[in-house]
Chain A
Amino acid sequence: MFYSPVRTNASEAEKNEKLHLFKYVEDPQQKNVETFESRNGYSAWKKVLSSMSAEQVIEEVKSSGLRGRGGAGFPTGLKWSFVPKDSPKARYLCCNADESEPGTCKDRVIMERDPHAIIEGMAIASYAIGCHLMFIYIRGEFGECIRSMERAAQEARDRGHLGKNIYGSGYDLDIIVHSGGGAYICGEERALLNSLEGERGMSRIRPPFPAIEGLYACPTIVNNVESLATVPHIINRGASWYSSMGTEKSSGTKVFSLSGHVNNPGNYEVELGFSLKKLIFDPAYGGGMKDGKQLKGVIPGGASTPFLTPDMIDVNLDYESLASVGSMLGSGAVIVFNEDTCIVWTILKLIHFFRHESCGKCTPCREGTGWLEQVVRRIEMGQGEQGDIEKIEDVCGNIFGRTICPLGDAAVMPIQSAIKHWRDEWQYHIDHGSCKVKSEFSFQ
């Protein structure tokens, strides 16, 4: 039932040409600094320190078209350029390694198996924004990741990749590996900053944006692990190499975490624009539906993105294409459901998660998710009442777009789409007090 953490199934040529994030993750030696260095590791960092200005780095990343892989897909280079150049304050970089979006398990692999790639990417990003102390905020449950990153950080210091006057350039940089506060919301960047400061992991209103006033009220950039691990490759191979991959607006490659009722669940690094259908059914990737069952639906971008139905899966995995069918790329967690899945049960699982993970700061998310869970549970338990579906829709409407952080939206979008696509199933639950599909799982 568990994903196999790494599965690229790409040809050697493809690996050399394109795939960079997962190129070496299958090699247990990659996490050692010597091996990493022998494979061109830290060369981008050296190049940056010896021959590039901060502006040039930002420009390069901007023109590569790299977009944030943490969920929102914001152009990375552009984000960096928001850090005020003339601020007398310290600046900080925080690598967001709180990976807890249900279905997402890509950052973990990079941290465990290729930690130096992250450190190198973080270092380059730090240089670009003028930061001398960077943080990596790792999900608290990820013990192995924390140990791996700490070990790598020490190696990097020992080898002079971090520390004072790095490579004689006069640039100082160090890293703090921080074990997270143990909540999904701590992955949301403003909650992450609060948590890092020792406060409760709760989001903050914007403005001020973190790039202006973030950690300790200083300009701060928060980037996802995958976004940062990509950066050294862009520096080494050039922006045009990176933007030559993927689509026009979604350049480069992306790791998709495929899970659910497929034969080969796992992480796959593919070019953006890759076919979702191919990812699920191609023998080199998902290998089709488990036990020959029919596909019922797909969540394409992690638990907070709207469902796709089988007739919609002829879509490409990139930011625009998924948006055009009413969903999102999110963090790239593709969750596949077969015909036996009860949609009400699935939604109950999801809303239970979001209710449990709501930070409790703003009223609609805090109270609304609790109410939704109760109504959905009642329907799932066969005690639904006429009008419950409309009530759910209405409550979702009172949450959507009215909260501080996107968790509120994330909680309701899958529900809204599940009702839109499978309203009859919901209604059946209410009318008959039982499930239309032969569900494997049930609360009863």
Chain B
Amino acid sequence: MQGKVGVFVSIGIVMAEQVKKEQAVSGVPMVTATIDGREVTVPKGTTVLEAAREMGIHIPTFCWHPKLKSVGACRMCYVEIERMPKLQVSCATEVMEGMVIQTASEQVLQGRKAVIEFILLNHPLDCPTCDKGGECDLQNHTFAHAVDDSRYSFKKARYTDGTDGTTFDDKRLGPEIVLNRNRCILCYKCVRANKEAFGEYDLGVYERGNIAEINSAPGHEVDNPFSGNLVEICPVGALTNSDWRYKIRVWLTQTTSSICNMTSSGSNILFYKEKNHNKIYRVTSRMNDSIDDGWLPDVSRYGYQIATTEERLKTPLIKKDGKQVEATWDEAMTVIHNRFTEIAEKKGKVCLGGLASPYLDNDSLHSFNKLFRTVFKSNNIDFRSDYRMLPEGADSPYEMLVDQPFTIADIDDSDLIISFGSDLIREHPNEYLRMRKAYNFKRAKVVSINPYAVKSADIAELEVIHSIGRAETVLNGICLAAMEMGLVNNQDLTGKIAPATTAEAASDAGVTEDDLKEVARAISSAKKISFICGEMVSRSIARDTIASALWNLYLLFGFKDKGQMAILPRYANSRGAGSLGLLPSPSDGLRNTLSGLWGCFPESDPNNTDAMLALMRKEEISGFFIIGANPLMLYPDRQFVTDGLERLDFLVACDLFETDTTELADVVLPLSSWAEYDGDYVNLEGKVQHARQAIKPLYQSKPAYEIITMVAEKFGAPLFESIEACRKEVDELLSMTHSTKFPSQFLEVKPCYEDAEEEYPTPLLICDDPHHCGHRTEKSQSLSNFVSEAYIEMSPEKAEKLAVKDGESVRVESPVGKIVVPVRISDCIDNNVVLIPRNFASTQVTSLLMRKRRLDRVKITKVDE
């Protein structure tokens, strides 16, 4: 026996030696073991379970999750390992050199059966009425192990305090989630994921032993922005959500692979539709390790309901006598053609403009671009409807930083992750989870540099909260600190930036010198950095100043060789829109390729969103085509937008449902959602992903691409012979060798501060609610179950000063507007700012904003009832 094992082991060792040599380059030692008689060589640290999976050997599990630390709780994954008398849990046992493992021996099967027997003791076995039936791990493993009887002869323990005293202990844990403790098998995956992966503490374990139970934290609801995942990872029907509960059995559904349309990372998702009906029932993750790790933020999970809402626009509408009335597509097209032609003839063609949504797919965006440039001969085109006063030209420091390469998975092994000017959870939830992962598994150092205490900073080793509107000064300060401490040799920066010393920069920015030094030290000693910049840079009119300061940092510390730095785009296809040249003046390269493809490119003045709105007010743009965008709700200074749009002679607006913007339109066209047609999207990394059509277009809606090509045809100028021809052009554009540019020398950064007015003392930041994104998600029932109206988020101290309690209303006034919103008191924000989400049409928050201001400041007063 001993000899035999010895032989096995030595063969293993010889093989492993070989592999070890190969692997020596990458530095991971390899180990070889035998699983069920087959040899396997894996990197050291791999668990037996993972190794077996790689070989296609399935070991059943309940508590294991590929993205969480193993806890070995359920004991389902037993294996037998030679020379170990007891059964071992494979999920928590690392493969060791020479191990001989059995995954299906008699002892193993006995052990697993015993575990199933234990779990089933008090399990209700109400599979026929349980939503998990058909996709339940417990059901599957029970059948697989032929456990069909119970030796337990006592009355099953029951929780009956949920609703009506029946065994349906349906306890509402939060806006979406319902818990049935009777079904819970206490695998603790939900609580672990919540804490470990999401950093949330609204769910916990209470009591002990066999009366231990999962429950929401006392006085809290489970309403964190990742809570939908808990339902997905629950192996049984203990956690369900109102989205899917009791609506359909899973075996009656079909899945379609798609891409999330809510975030810019493009999480991979599955749509579930009923086989014979044109209806989507839910969305789950489709684990893609390079993008989402299998976690979906709630916006991505429940966002699909913007497609299924009853509020969808059902037919085209044409304004007649000041009222929008239903019309046919033909009628709508005729009106569009006639009116645009009329305007063009009267004023010349450049008086037409267009605005597309960055949620649209490549085909739609590209055809929109072609329609404008080749049919309307206009450079009045943009896809950015929420950033005020964007610079012209593709080579601004800001644009160059937006264009930088960024790889989500590279966050995993970064030893330093900096989030700058970004409330990550609200803007880039997937990247936030990656950051947590790097922190959990690799002890990465996290640094947060923001004008307020963002929630994602809870894991930050260093949190630098600077005075609002001083972002560039903080960056300058970090550069100065590095130079003063001799961490960098390059001194060319001296004189280009102000102030001139770390001390001054610190005091200007409202931070300590130590903080700046600490960040400088962290950057200079890090081996691999991920530097994430977000919306607070993009939204600021000082974006080019801030970007210049970022570039200086980049050059000074040599980021090129040790990491990635980018201003991350915000929407599902922002990156695609940029790459396809949907900008008033695309880069020279793009422009050349486009005119090569089309044989022409207009010479007219390029005008971006702001410029176009200004031209509308001057009546120099009189016809406008909006597809999917909602500038009225998103562009800073609502009055400016309203004035512009109202002065138009003719406005076409397409969207999924009525919006503030469509209300002003002369023709409204019903747009199909991304679930209703095939489309490609470019995520923030530049990766092109395909979203498959899950259902046919609902009502009379049409995909943007079809609408645009119809318009072109109406003008007698068909854009493409077929959609394939369009895709060929898109491919050509996207495969253009993308030379990312960066400045060759340090840039001048002179801070541009804006003084506060006494009358409006409080800086206001506009953000997305963590459960929403942009203007569409308030139409999702599930998402609005979490949050359905705007609020003003402020610190407890601020609320106390205003003498308002949580939920009470305040009047918020700026020099240009005033709104009334309820107060939400939050510990995650400090005194110097207040936040209002922009996702709720009724609040008209953009009416407070001024487009030429760096900071929005407001006066807040209590509303006396």
Q: A and B from one assembly?
A: yes
Are B114 and A369 in touch, CB under 8 angstroms? no
Q: How large is the interface on A (under 10, 10 to 19, 20 to 34, 35 or more residues)?
A: 20 to 34
Of all chain B residues, the one with the shortest Cβ separation from A388 is: B153
Interface segment out of the listed A293-301, A338-346, A396-404 = A396-404
* B residues near A363, Cβ cutoff 8 Å: 73-76, 115, 118-119, 185-186
Is B154 an interface position by the 8 A CB rule?
A: yes
Is B207 an interface position by the 8 A CB rule?
A: yes
Q: Given B72, B87, B111, B204, which contacts A362 in the complex, CB threshold below 8 Å?
A: B72
Interface segment out of the listed A234-242, A270-278, A311-319, A351-359 = A351-359
Is B136 an interface position by the 8 A CB rule?
A: no
Q: Given A205, A360, A391, A404, which contacts B210 in the complex, CB threshold below 8 Å?
A: A360
Are A200 and B205 in touch, CB under 8 angstroms? yes
A175 to B117, CA, bound (A): 46
Are A355 and B114 in touch, CB under 8 angstroms? no
Given A205-B70, A205-B89, check contact A356 B209 (CB 8 Å): yes
Of all chain A residues, the one with the shortest Cβ separation from B78 is: A402
Is A165 an interface position by the 8 A CB rule?
A: no
- Say how far A86's CB is from chain B's closest CB, in angstroms: 17
Are A360 and B115 in touch, CB under 8 angstroms? no
Are A355 and B209 in touch, CB under 8 angstroms? yes
Of all chain B residues, the one with the shortest Cβ separation from A375 is: B154
Are A357 and B205 in touch, CB under 8 angstroms? no
A148 to B92, CA, bound (A): 41
Q: Given B72, B111, B186, which contacts A360 in the complex, CB threshold below 8 Å?
A: B186
**What does DSSP make chain B's interface, helix, strand, loop or mixed?**
loop
Given A355-B210, A358-B210, A361-B188, check contact A204 B75 (CB 8 Å): no
* A residues near B409, Cβ cutoff 8 Å: none
- Say how far A203's CB is from chain B's closest CB, in angstroms: 10
Are B72 and A404 in touch, CB under 8 angstroms? yes
Is A414 an interface position by the 8 A CB rule?
A: no
Q: Given A205, A366, A398, which contacts B212 in the complex, CB threshold below 8 Å?
A: A366
Within residues 388 to 440 of chain A, which ones have a CB less than 8 A from any CB in chain B? Answer: 391, 398, 401-404
Is A368 an interface position by the 8 A CB rule?
A: yes
Mask: chain B, 91-124; 1 = CB below 8 Å from A; 0 = not: 0101000000000000000010011011101100
Q: Given A371, A391, A401, which contacts B121 in the complex, CB threshold below 8 Å?
A: A371
A374 to B115, CA, bound (A): 18
A144 to B114, CA, bound (A): 44
Q: Which of A366, A368, A403 has the most CB of B within 10 A?
A: A366
Are B114 and A360 in touch, CB under 8 angstroms? no
Is B526 an interface position by the 8 A CB rule?
A: no
Are B209 and A402 in touch, CB under 8 angstroms? no
Are A367 and B72 in touch, CB under 8 angstroms? no
Are A361 and B73 in touch, CB under 8 angstroms? yes
Is A303 an interface position by the 8 A CB rule?
A: no
Are A402 and B75 in touch, CB under 8 angstroms? yes
- Say how far A198's CB is from chain B's closest CB, in angstroms: 11
Of all chain A residues, the one with the shortest Cβ separation from B70 is: A205
- Say how far A443's CB is from chain B's closest CB, in angstroms: 16
Is B208 an interface position by the 8 A CB rule?
A: yes
Within residues 402 to 437 of chain B, which ones have a CB less than 8 A from any CB in chain A? Answer: none
Is A5 an interface position by the 8 A CB rule?
A: no
Is A382 an interface position by the 8 A CB rule?
A: no
Is A370 an interface position by the 8 A CB rule?
A: yes
* B residues near A83, Cβ cutoff 8 Å: none
Is A364 an interface position by the 8 A CB rule?
A: yes
Of all chain B residues, the one with the shortest Cβ separation from A360 is: B212
Are A357 and B86 in touch, CB under 8 angstroms? no
* A residues near B753, Cβ cutoff 8 Å: none
* A residues near B70, Cβ cutoff 8 Å: 205
Are A362 and B75 in touch, CB under 8 angstroms? yes
Mask: chain B, 723-761; 1 = CB below 8 Å from A; 0 = not: 000000000000000000000000000000000000000
Are A371 and B152 in touch, CB under 8 angstroms? yes
Are A367 and B71 in touch, CB under 8 angstroms? no
Is A153 an interface position by the 8 A CB rule?
A: no
Is A146 an interface position by the 8 A CB rule?
A: no
* A residues near B118, Cβ cutoff 8 Å: 363-364, 366-368, 371, 398
Of all chain A residues, the one with the shortest Cβ separation from B72 is: A205
- Say how far A323's CB is from chain B's closest CB, in angstroms: 16
A358 to B205, CA, bound (A): 14
Is B151 an interface position by the 8 A CB rule?
A: yes
Is A111 an interface position by the 8 A CB rule?
A: no
Are A402 and B210 in touch, CB under 8 angstroms? no
* A residues near B185, Cβ cutoff 8 Å: 363
Given A205-B70, A398-B114, check contact A359 B208 (CB 8 Å): yes
* A residues near B119, Cβ cutoff 8 Å: 363, 367
- Say how far A335's CB is from chain B's closest CB, in angstroms: 23
Given A366-B210, A367-B119, A401-B87, check contact A360 B205 (CB 8 Å): yes
A356 to B75, CA, bound (A): 20
- Say how far B218's CB is from chain A's closest CB, in angstroms: 14
Are A205 and B208 in touch, CB under 8 angstroms? no
A185 to B86, CA, bound (A): 22
A404 to B186, CA, bound (A): 15
Given A200-B205, A363-B119, A364-B114, check contact A370 B210 (CB 8 Å): yes
* B residues near A358, Cβ cutoff 8 Å: 208-210
Are A366 and B111 in touch, CB under 8 angstroms? no
A357 to B89, CA, bound (A): 23
Of all chain B residues, the one with the shortest Cβ separation from A354 is: B209
A391 to B117, CA, bound (A): 13
Is A183 an interface position by the 8 A CB rule?
A: yes
* A residues near B72, Cβ cutoff 8 Å: 205, 362, 404
In the A-B complex, the 6 residue pairs with the smallest Cβ-Cβ separation, listed nearest first, are: A360-B212, A370-B210, A367-B118, A358-B209, A398-B114, A205-B72
Known: A360-B207, A366-B209, A401-B87. 10 other contacts (CB 8 A): A207-B94, A355-B210, A360-B186, A360-B210, A361-B73, A371-B152, A385-B153, A402-B78, A402-B111, A404-B72
> What are 13 contact pairs spanning A and B, CB under 8 A?
A185-B208, A204-B71, A356-B208, A360-B207, A360-B208, A363-B185, A364-B75, A366-B210, A371-B121, A371-B152, A402-B75, A402-B78, A404-B73
